[in-house]
Amino acid sequence: MSERGEAANSFPLPEGEGQGEGKHGSPPNEPSPRPSPTAVGEGERPTHHSSLITHHSFRILHIITSLDVGGAQKHLLSLVKGLRQRGHEADVAFFKNPSLVEQFAKTGARLFDLSARGTLSPLLILRLASILAQGDYQVVHTHLLKADTYGTLAGVLARTPVRIASKHNDERALRNPAAATIHGLLSRLNHRVVVLSDYVGQYVASVGRVEPRLITRVYYGLPTNSAASPGEGLRLRTELGIAPDIPLVATVGRLMEQKGLTYLLQAMHILQQRLPEARLLIVGDSQDGRDEYKQLLLRQHHSLGLEGSVIFTGVRDDVPAVMQAIDLFAMASLWEGFGLVFLEAMAAARPIVATAVSAIPEVVEEGVSGLLVPPRDPEALADALYSLLNDPNRARRMGAAGLLRLKNRFTEDKMVDCIEGLYRELCNVPPVPGPHHSDRRSPSRTT
């Protein structure tokens, strides 16, 4: 998959879809004229006219399957916040799991909670089309497979001028030939398909049957000043009863097969023979109440005698403090579309031990910012963990290299720049000079 440095090709707006008259700017304490299927956390809305070219700002409806805690949701939160700070009107519709509603509401975005309708109801298409049409949105931008399906069809029905789908993972479901065929056909209704890594771009083209001409890669980004203070790391160690000099590893993510946690537990069992004082935090929980894998992990935790060395913390909202508390970050994923949590570790200048699968080698530079090992190999994982825990100077050098890599390659500003630039390109609007646009780079196209 190659990268092209020139500006991406412009897609013309579908005929007759460039204008529309919508109502905007309802006073915060009065009912909104827009449809409100449980609108949550409505903030003050700027007044705009329909002409994109005149005002250089956009009205975007992001549609995502779930607002549960995860990489795609954290990415969307950063994107919505960044777009709104730049004067765009970015709102969010979701189908289930309102875990992050409060955080999204703080951005000022209007939230449409469609969870009452379920994620398999075709009525969602009609409801989304109504929201898009009455809201006079110029861009519909979808995230995750169900939202991609319903949001794209709703965008066509509502004649939304620009339709974009973001692919956040190398979804296993697309290995089903029927699902891949439908996915490929639906993707042709989009003006662009955004992928968060070159690997995911290759995957959705070869497996998910997306036409390569539609694909643009935009990496996830994180604020470079998002690290917690050393004091917060010490506070967390105190809370968990872990002394400052104890070697501490953490992994963060949902308790699901994708994350390879059974292999990480086996690696910790091996590591205990060489470094018995080492501890592991497993930060996260099961998804949608599906606890089978979690119960499997707890049984394995007991059978390997890891009760004194491995702590299941559940979901925490202080991940930066976790990263500050640990000596290194570990991830045993079997596949991974990007791994936003790697950037959180890099922001804290922590070295990384991870599996060399999917997009991880694009994020973690082997031998520079971390060590990469084969998947499903507990012994290799244990060896890598031991080598860094036993060599603090090397670990610090790798952590510093990771922080530098974050600043050079994976910043939040760069990510928002690229997405905003894509909106402007697809709507045929020139860039606006300003603090966020002085050094714009076009998002990378993949072919």
Q: Is 246 helix (H, G, I), strand (E, B) or coil?
A: coil
pLDDT, residue 235, reads: 98
Cα distance between residue 422 and residue 83, in whole Å: 12
**How far, in Å, CA of 137 to CA of 164, rounded?**
13
Per the CB < 8 A criterion, the answer to whether 350 and 323 are in contact is yes
Calpha distance 390→78 (Å, rounded): 36
The DSSP code for 411 is B
Which domains can be identified in the chain, with CATH numbers? 3-221+411-446 (3.40.50.2000), 230-409 (3.40.50.2000)
pLDDT given at position 30: 31
DSSP structure string for 6-62? SPPPPPPPPTT-S---------TTS--SS--SSEES--------S-HHHH---EEEE
Which residues face 222 on adjacent strands? 411
Token pair 């109440």 is found at: 289
**281: enclosing H helix or E strand:** strand 279-283
In contact, 92 and 112? CB cutoff 8 Å: yes
Between the alpha carbon of residue 355 and those of residues 152, 337, 362, 368, the distances in Å are 34, 13, 12, 15
Residue with tokens 């620009």: 162
Q: Locate all alpha helices (DSSP H) within 253-318, ordered by sequence.
A: 261-274, 292-303
The pairing of strands 328-331 and 248-252 is parallel
Quote the CA–CA distance of 249 and 323 in Å, as a whole number. Answer: 9
Q: What is the pLDDT of residue 288?
A: 72
Give residue for tokens 């296993």: 172
How many Å apart are CA 161 and CA 60, to the nearest integer? 11
Say how many C-beta atoms besides its own lie within 10 A of residue 84's C-beta: 18
Sequential DSSP letters for 62-89: EEEEE-SSSHHHHHHHHHHHHHHHTT-E
Q: Tell me how far apart the alpha carbons of residues 16 and 207 are, in angstroms, rounded to a whole number.
A: 33
Residue from 330, 308, 343, 332 nearest 395 by CA? 330
Q: How far apart are CA 128 and CA 19, in angstroms?
A: 19
Residue 54 confidence (pLDDT): 36
Distances (CA, A) of 385 to 147, 167, 248, 355, 363: 38, 31, 10, 12, 18
Tokens of 169: 């993972």
Residue 359 and residue 203 in contact, taking contact as beta carbons nearer than 8 Å: no
Query: Per residue, what are the HEC states of 261-279?
Result: HHHHHHHHHHHHHHCCCCE
Looking at residue 444, what is its pLDDT? 58
pLDDT beneath 70, residues of the chain: 1-55, 117-120, 432-447
Report the side by side order of strands in the sheet with 215-217: 3-4, 444-446, 215-217, 192-195, 162-167, 139-143, 59-66, 89-96, 111-113, 39-40
Distance, CA of 34 to CA of 132 (rounded, Å): 9
Token duo for residue 293? 């894998």
Note the pLDDT of residue 48. Answer: 36
